[in-house]
């Protein structure tokens, strides 16, 4: 049956048109249109400008002005606008004004809309991972977003460690999911000041991931209850130690007071004797009564100085014990609150999720490890700092048993060991490797969970280093979607830009999978992400020229002779009723002109 031709429009952004068609399928434009934005509408609605920002992000435009001032301006491309449900786009200055006027509540509403669109895909991938592997694998990290060191217009910036140097800017705490279908899928991003440290963000990362997953593991309340009991017993022993310290201090103070009393008595006797000697015309002799009394007074003065010093030392020790006692009591109180909270969470979690989280060494403090273990995660991380590394090597290093796991890398695994000052047994993997400069370096990987990884340290090494996926994702977000180039200088707009970057990275993977499953035509093999990669799709295919031909049952991209895919076609079968309705008037007048001739 012959397709009914509706409209033909040239475009310089062919793949953005295809992605717009897919966006209509999953309801992105319709969802954004429901967001409550209170800004004025003249020629373009604020919803249209938010959509334009999202499309510009998908097109990899590094600056906001590139919407209007690039070689092929996006705001002049009517085909892209129509594919995304708009008649035309606004100038970049209008998008900029909209972003500057965006309130925090409006920004959160748009972010919530993007998360709602993402939720079915997250649920699908969690279900697939649970069915195929019996667990989900999460990766978390902290990445810097630097700004100019001389800038004073970015809100709430701070100096921190970014890109191996101290820079002014922000930090972004991100979590990704290892996806069965899409390889990697972003779950969350949280905006932080530039001086934020990784060691303070483990709990926040996990809670943000659980909010995105809408599921969580079963909390290990039995381990936490044992820890609370141990701390309670240790606290009782500490209180007894504190009482002994207090009794010792009281005894020392009593001794000091007695020494002071004797000194004052001898001093009075000395004064009386010194007055009596001249009156009785007595001479002072080295072994006389006056000399002996002076010697005795000097002894008590020296004793008083020693007693005072001893009392000060005892007071310092007591203050230290009291401070540690207060810290231990506060820790016990927090753990008791945590235990009650975890028990309640388990009661409201009928279908717990088995989850693995991989973090770099910056998150691997003992407190963070204990928290993640108690939250029910299987944890893979590294030693937090050089001091921890030194203690682990001193405690567990051996001469034999080292296995090669890579080029110049050896590992030694120890199962269920008790590191110094940690409350739970861990699998410990010591590493030693030689750098390209010939230097010998050491490392230590830590694991808690059911995987018998110490039996195969090669598998342990490979699985942990699989977290390079999130590092590649961070590099992708900066080099392809320009996360580190903030397009605006207001906090609500910065938050929206960050979430648009992560949504764009996810969306393109969803769209590409949909294209490979539903589209047809000679251009299809050239757009397969498994062959060409995200960079090619965004920076090349999204900026190539084509004629867009809309039919009643779909959309045909016929690539021009000047494009990378010259002579090839891509047909997208989709319900395009919105284009039919919007194009009937033009089609009618087009037919009327033919009739008039």
Instruction: Assess whether pLDDT exceeds 90 at residue 151.
Output: no
278: part of which helix (H) or strand (E)?
helix 221-279
Max mean pLDDT range (318-322, 325-329, 463-467): 463-467
Q: Which of the four pLDDT bands, split at 50, 70 and 90, describes residue 272?
A: confident
Beta bridge partners of 291: none
pLDDT (tens digit per residue) in 457-492: 999 999 999 999 999 999 999 999 999 999 989 999
What residues contact 562, with CB distance under 8 A and at least 6 apart? 545
Q: The tokens of 293 are what?
A: 């009394």
State the pLDDT at residue 576: 44
Q: Give Dmax over CA atoms of the chain in angstroms.
A: 151
Tracing tokens 């996926």 back to the chain, one arrives at 469
Cα 445–chain centre separation: 20
User: What value does the mean pLDDT take over residues 365-382?
Assistant: 96
- The whole-number pLDDT of residue 5 equals 61
Mean predicted confidence (pLDDT) in 418-422: 88
SS3 at position 163:
coil
State residue 2's pLDDT score. Answer: 46
CB 35 within 8 A of CB 110: yes
pLDDT at 539 over 50: yes
- pTM as predicted: 0.87
Indicate whether 497 pLDDT > 70: yes
Instruction: Round to whole Å and give the CA distance between 527 and 284.
Output: 113
Burial 177-213 (b: 16+ CB within 10 A, else e): bbbbebebbbbbbbbbebebebbebbebbbebbbebb
Q: Are strands 378-382 and 355-358 parallel, antiparallel or unpaired?
A: parallel
Q: 């830590």: which residue's tokens? A: 446
Q: Are 376 and 216 in contact (CB under 8 A)?
A: yes
pLDDT surpassing 70 at residue 3: no
510: nearest Cα among 17, 26, 14: 26
Instruction: List phi, psi (to 5°) of 27.
Output: 85, 25
Token readout for 396 is 């567990």
| Angle formed by the axes of helices 221-279 and 289-347, nearest 10° | 170
Which of 3-17, 67-81, 583-597 is predicted most confidently?
67-81
Tokens of 172: 């972004």
Taking a C-beta distance cutoff of 8 angstroms, is the pair 344, 323 a contact?
A: no
Query: Is the pLDDT assigned to residue 361 strictly greater than 50?
Result: yes
Comparing 94-108, 235-249, 442-456, the range with the smallest average pLDDT is 235-249
User: CA–CA separation, 551 vs 548, rounded Å?
Assistant: 10
Section 75-96 average pLDDT: 95
Cα separation, 256 vs 309, whole angstroms: 10
Three-state DSSP state, 526: helix
Cα separation, 473 vs 186, in Å, equals: 9
Token pair, residue 546, equals 């084509």
Q: Which helix (H) or strand (E) holds 146?
A: strand 136-146
Q: What is the pLDDT of residues 332-358, one digit of tens each?
A: 999 999 999 999 999 999 999 999 999
Identify the band that residue 236 occupies on the pLDDT scale cut at 50, 70 and 90.
confident
What digits encode the pLDDT tens for the residues 62-80?
Answer: 999 999 999 999 999 999 9
Average pLDDT over residues 440-466: 93
CA distances from 276 to 273, 296, 326 (A): 5, 19, 58
If pLDDT is split at 50, 70 and 90, which confidence band does 4 have? low
Instruction: Give the mean model confidence (pLDDT) for residues 289-312.
Output: 90
Mean local confidence (pLDDT), 445-465: 94
Sequence length of the chain is 597
Instruction: List, for residues 92-150, the tens digit of each pLDDT value.
Output: 999 999 999 999 999 999 999 999 999 999 999 999 999 999 999 999 999 999 999 88
Question: What pLDDT is recorded for position 117?
Answer: 96
C-alpha distances in angstroms, 136 versus 125, 133, 219, 492?
A: 9, 8, 16, 32
pLDDT in tens, 45-65: 999 999 999 999 999 999 999
Q: CA–CA separation, 352 vs 363, rounded Å?
A: 24
User: In angstroms, rounded to a whole number, what is the distance separating the alpha carbons of residues 449 and 451?
Assistant: 6
Nearest residue to 141 (alpha-carbon basis) of 182, 181, 187, 210:
187
Per DSSP, the chain holds a count of helices (H) and strands (E) of 17, 14
Q: What percent of the chain is modeled with pLDDT above 90? A: 76
Cβ 239 vs Cβ 247: under 8 Å: no
Q: What average pLDDT does range 367-378 have in this prediction?
A: 96
Instruction: Tell me: pLDDT of 8 over 90.
Output: no
pLDDT tens per residue, range 207-228: 999 999 999 999 999 999 999 9
Alpha carbon separation from 472 to 235, 381, 457 (Å, rounded)? 46, 18, 24
Residue 581, pLDDT above cutoff 50: no
Q: How does DSSP classify residue 83? A: H
């Amino acid at each position: 049956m012959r397709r009914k031709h509706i409209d033909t429009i040239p475009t310089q952004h062919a793949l953005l048109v295809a992605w717009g068609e897919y966006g209509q399928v999953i309801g992105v434009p319709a969802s954004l249109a429901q967001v409550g934005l209170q800004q004025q509408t003249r020629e373009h609605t604020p919803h249209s400008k938010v959509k334009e920002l999202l499309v510009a992000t998908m097109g990899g435009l590094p600056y906001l002005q590139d919407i209007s001032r690039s070689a092929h301006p996006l705001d002049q491309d009517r085909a892209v606008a129509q594919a995304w449900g708009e008649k035309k786009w606004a100038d970049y200055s209008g998008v900029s004004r909209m972003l500057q006027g965006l309130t925090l509540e409006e920004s959160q509403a748009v972010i919530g809309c993007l998360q709602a669109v993402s939720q079915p895909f997250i649920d699908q991938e969690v279900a697939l991972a649970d069915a195929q592997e019996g667990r989900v694998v999460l990766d978390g990290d902290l990445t810097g977003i630097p700004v100019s060191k001389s800038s004073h217009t970015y809100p709430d910036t701070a100096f921190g460690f970014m890109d191996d140097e101290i820079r002014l800017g922000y930090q972004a705490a991100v979590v990704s999911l290892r996806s069965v279908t899409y390889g990697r899928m972003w779950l969350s991003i949280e905006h932080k000041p530039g001086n934020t440290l990784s060691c303070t963000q483990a709990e926040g990362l996990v809670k943000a991931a659980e909010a995105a997953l809408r599921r969580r593991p079963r909390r290990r309340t039995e381990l936490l209850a044992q820890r609370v009991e141990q701390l309670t017993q240790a606290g009782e022993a500490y209180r007894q130690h504190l009482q002994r310290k207090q009794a010792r201090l009281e005894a020392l103070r009593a001794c000091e007071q007695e020494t002071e009393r004797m000194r004052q008595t001898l001093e009075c006797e000395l004064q009386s004797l010194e007055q009596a000697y001249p009156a009785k015309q007595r001479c002072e002799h080295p072994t006389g009564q006056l000399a002996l009394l002076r010697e005795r007074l000097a002894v008590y003065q020296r004793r008083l100085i020693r007693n005072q010093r001893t009392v000060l030392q005892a007071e310092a020790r007591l203050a230290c014990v009291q401070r540690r006692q207060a810290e231990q009591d506060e820790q016990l109180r927090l753990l008791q609150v945590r235990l009650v909270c975890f028990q309640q969470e388990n009661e409201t979690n009928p279908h717990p999720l088995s989850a693995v989280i991989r973090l770099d060494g910056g998150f691997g403090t003992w407190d963070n490890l204990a928290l993640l273990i108690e939250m029910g995660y299987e944890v893979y991380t590294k030693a937090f700092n050089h001091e921890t590394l030194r203690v682990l090597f001193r405690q567990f290093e051996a001469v034999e048993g080292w296995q090669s796991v890579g080029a110049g890398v050896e590992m030694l695994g120890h199962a269920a060991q008790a590191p110094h000052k940690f409350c739970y047994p861990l699998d410990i993997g010591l590493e030693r490797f030689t750098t390209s400069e010939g230097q010998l370096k050491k490392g230590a990987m830590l694991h808690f969970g059911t995987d018998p990884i110490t039996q195969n340290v090669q598998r342990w090494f490979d699985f942990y280093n699989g977290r390079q996926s999130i590092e590649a994702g961070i590099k992708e977000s900066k080099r392809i979607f320009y996360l580190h180039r903030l397009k605006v200088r207001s906090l609500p707009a910065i938050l929206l830009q960050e979430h648009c970057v992560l949504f764009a990275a996810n969306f393109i993977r969803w769209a590409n999978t949909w294209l490979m499953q539903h589209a047809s035509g000679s251009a299809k093999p050239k757009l397969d992400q498994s062959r060409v990669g995200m960079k090619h799709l965004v920076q090349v295919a999204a900026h190539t020229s084509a004629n867009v031909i809309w039919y009643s049952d779909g959309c045909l991209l016929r690539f021009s002779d000047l494009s990378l895919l010259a002579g090839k076609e891509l047909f997208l079968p989709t319900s395009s009723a919105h284009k039919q309705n919007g194009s009937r008037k033009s089609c009618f007048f087009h037919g009327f002109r033919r009739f008039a001739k």
